[in-house]
Amino acid sequence: MDVEITLRINGSARTLSVDTRTTLLDALRERLDLTGSKKGCDHGQCGACTVLIDGRRANSCLALAIAHQDAEITTIEGLADGERLHPMQASFIEHDAFQCGYCTPGQICSAVAMLREVEQGWPSWVTDDVAADRVTLDDDEIRERMSGNLCRCAAYANIVPAIAQVAAT
């Protein structure tokens, strides 16, 4: 059964008719031609499909499109400000933090949201002092917080410094 929904994606309202079982990832890629988010595992295990839903990272392969009508959805295509790249996008380029690039959109979206989590004081599994007012974002913290985003090429040696550079600014 198809239903008409309106999604707010990258600052614009987009209306489309979808089957109620359509994932957000499939709606983005197949119906709206926003192909930056990738279908990797289609089980929420690799993070290639990561987008921001109301500023929080989410695996779009596990999210039903119909459930996010009132949410603000940001994809990799919506991070840049016109021709000016988002600082995280620019840092990934500067640090050569990708090889094949398949996971890169999900890595970048996840990193952007992860830095917001750190700013809000959210601890992780490796946070030394979970009661501290501020989380120290060292390499171990970055690795742990990005552990839901896999890179088959193993570009982690460059991904961590790319994220750390943005975190330091």
pLDDT of 105:
97
pLDDT of 128:
82
The answer to whether residues 69 and 99 belong to one domain is: no
pLDDT digits (tens, 9 = 90+) for 25-41: 999 999 999 999 999 99
* Residues 6+ away with beta carbon under 8 Å from 15: 4, 5, 6
The answer to whether residues 71 and 134 belong to one domain is: no
The answer to whether residues 15 and 57 belong to one domain is: yes
| Structural domain that includes position 104 | 87-168
CATH number (domain holding residue 102): 1.10.150.120
This model's pTM is above 0.75: yes
The answer to whether residues 8 and 47 belong to one domain is: yes
pLDDT of 63:
98
What is the count of structural domains for the chain?
2
CATH number (domain holding residue 57): 3.10.20.30
The answer to whether residues 74 and 106 belong to one domain is: no
pLDDT of 127:
87
Of the candidates 35, 119, 150, 24, the residue with the CA atom closest to the CA atom of residue 159: 150
pLDDT of 154:
87
The answer to whether residues 67 and 95 belong to one domain is: no
How far apart are alpha carbons 75 and 37 in whole angstroms? 7
The answer to whether residues 61 and 39 belong to one domain is: yes
How far apart are alpha carbons 143 and 126 in whole angstroms? 10
The answer to whether residues 61 and 25 belong to one domain is: yes
Which residue ranges in the chain fall short of pLDDT 50? none
